Amino acid sequence: MQSKTIIDLLRNDEVVKFIGLHINDDVKLLALEAHKHQNMDIKAISTLILLYQKAKLKLPEHYKNRAALAPKCYEQCTSEMVAKYKANIMDIKAKKIVNITGGLGIDDWAMSEYALQIDSCEIDSDIHDLAIFNNKKNNILNITRHLIDGIEYVKNLTKTDLIYADPDRRPAAAKVFKLEDSLPNILSNIDLLLSKADQVWLKISPMADITYLEKSISSIKKIYIIAWLGEVKEILVCCNSSDNLKKTLAAVNIGSEAISIFESNGGINSVAYGNSGNYLYEPNKAIIKAGLTAHYGSKIGLKMISVNSHFFISDFLVEGFYGRTFDIIERLEYKPKLIKVYLEKNAIRQANITTRNFRETPELLKKRFKIKDGGAITLCFSIDSEGKSWLFHCKQRINKD
């Protein structure tokens, strides 16, 4: 669906009212009733309604304002909560920013609250038009959009305070995570970008490896692994040519009620190991992705089951743990016959299965023990520091993280 079609629909008060009345409808059923609304493009309206239904959680303000959205740019855009968090930590107050990959403009929208001026570049005219429409609708006056290749724009730039880039990770309709495969190619242009701004911030695929990033770009000074509602959504890095800045690695989880942040200080105390206790803990995915599991356990005084398990265990309850906390109901050594008897005796036919550093997958374990997915029980499987395999029969506690 072209941007002109979307914008024309949203400029029509009757269509906007219709969308509001049917915002929670099943769009498939709505399409079947197209003959009742022959003066409207029900197919296009149904596509918009479906996007709004998805956007209610990811883009609540844009949902509320009936922003112009399109399927591809919606899937690729940052969530509002993540965009707001980034804008808050990037030290952009009263600064000039160049965004070389403007996209739908969600990051611009968040940064505009603090920045003096944002010049945002985009090569896709449809996405560019949608962003302009949304900026006008939101009455944002400090964003100027440019239909131009961002790298070409920067080449003609004298200097700016900060450059932001969210390179397209699907330039050929296939997901990529290497910087050299993205569009624009960040690796071949990082020196140019740093010559035009004191800081260059990059939004990178959550699949990218941290070691790969640090080896690929020597100027990286800050790395934030950002999860939203428990899933790692992006890696945000700050590049700076100065050698005097201390390197930062942080794991951030943005929940529905709270934001948890664990930052590595570079050092780690000795880590204790154990396989028995009353409580089992699994750190959030941002901590695991950042490689900070041992650092976090060391800081809060928990034993690890093994160096690769990403499970902690303790006799005491740790309040405010960054991740999932479980009450251990029973611990069993992993012997399939013994476990089958235990499951039958306790009438366990449904459970959530989690494996960490274990030789069998959750799918295989469900099949082996005839367990259906779901319910209030969690079965955690792992191998301890001595190579023994264990099953922990648990019940999850409710965390705000």
Q: Can you give the pTM of this predicted structure?
A: 0.92
* More confident: 321 or 173: 321
Stretch 317-343: mean pLDDT: 96
What pLDDT does residue 242 have?
82
Residues, the chain: 401
In a domain, 68, yes or no: no
Stretch 263-267: mean pLDDT: 75
- Residue 244's pLDDT band (cuts 50, 70, 90): confident
Q: How far, in Å, CA of 53 to CA of 26, rounded?
A: 10
Q: How many domains does the chain have?
A: 3
In a domain, 401, yes or no: no
* pLDDT greater than 80 at residue 177: no
Tokens representing 270 are: 């000795």
250 alpha carbon, distance to own chain's centre: 14
* pLDDT greater than 90 at residue 19: yes
Supply φ then ψ for residue 341, to 5 degrees.
-65, -45
Q: Are residues 210 and 80 in the same domain?
A: yes
* pLDDT greater than 60 at residue 261: yes
Q: Are residues 229 and 100 in the same domain?
A: yes
Exposure string of 314-332, with b = 16+ CB inside 10 Å and e = fewer, is: beeeeeebbbbbbebeebb
> Model confidence over 59-94: pLDDT tens digits?
999 999 999 999 989 998 999 999 999 999 999 999
In a domain, 258, yes or no: no
- Residue 373's pLDDT band (cuts 50, 70, 90): very high
> Mean pLDDT of all residues in the chain?
93
Supply φ then ψ for residue 392, to 5 degrees.
-110, 115
* pLDDT greater than 60 at residue 176: no
* pLDDT greater than 70 at residue 151: yes
Q: Are residues 135 and 238 in the same domain?
A: yes
Stretch among 103-107, 116-120, 165-169, 200-204 having the lowest mean pLDDT: 165-169
Burial (CB < 10 A; 0-12, 13-18, 19+), residue 7, is: middle
Q: Are residues 215 and 139 in the same domain?
A: yes
In a domain, 253, yes or no: no
Q: What percent of the chain has pLDDT over 70?
A: 96
In a domain, 66, yes or no: no
In a domain, 263, yes or no: no
Q: Are residues 178 and 237 in the same domain?
A: yes
Q: Are residues 149 and 209 in the same domain?
A: yes
* pLDDT greater than 90 at residue 213: yes
What pLDDT does residue 357 have?
95
Q: Are residues 105 and 230 in the same domain?
A: yes
Q: Are residues 43 and 95 in the same domain?
A: no
Stretch 359-384: mean pLDDT: 96
Angle at 176 between CA 184 and CA 150, to 5 degrees: 15
* pLDDT greater than 70 at residue 268: no
What pLDDT does residue 6 have?
95
What is the β-pairing status of strands 220-228 and 143-147? Answer: unpaired
Single out the residue in 191, 223, 246 at which a domain terminates.
246
Q: Are residues 14 and 111 in the same domain?
A: no
Stretch 358-378: mean pLDDT: 96
- Residue 274's pLDDT band (cuts 50, 70, 90): very high
Q: How far, in Å, CA of 204 to CA of 225, rounded?
A: 10
- CATH number at 164 reads 3.40.50.150
* pLDDT greater than 90 at residue 181: no
Stretch 267-290: mean pLDDT: 91
- Residue 258's pLDDT band (cuts 50, 70, 90): confident
What pLDDT does residue 327 have?
98
Q: Are residues 152 and 295 in the same domain?
A: no
Q: How far, in Å, CA of 172 to CA of 183, rounded?
A: 10
Stretch 106-126: mean pLDDT: 97
- Residue 175's pLDDT band (cuts 50, 70, 90): low
> Model confidence over 352-366: pLDDT tens digits?
999 999 999 999 999
Q: What percent of the chain has pLDDT over 90?
A: 84
* pLDDT greater than 70 at residue 170: no
**Enclosing domain of residue 139:** 75-246
Q: Are residues 183 and 296 in the same domain?
A: no
Q: Are residues 378 and 296 in the same domain?
A: yes
In a domain, 205, yes or no: yes
In a domain, 310, yes or no: yes
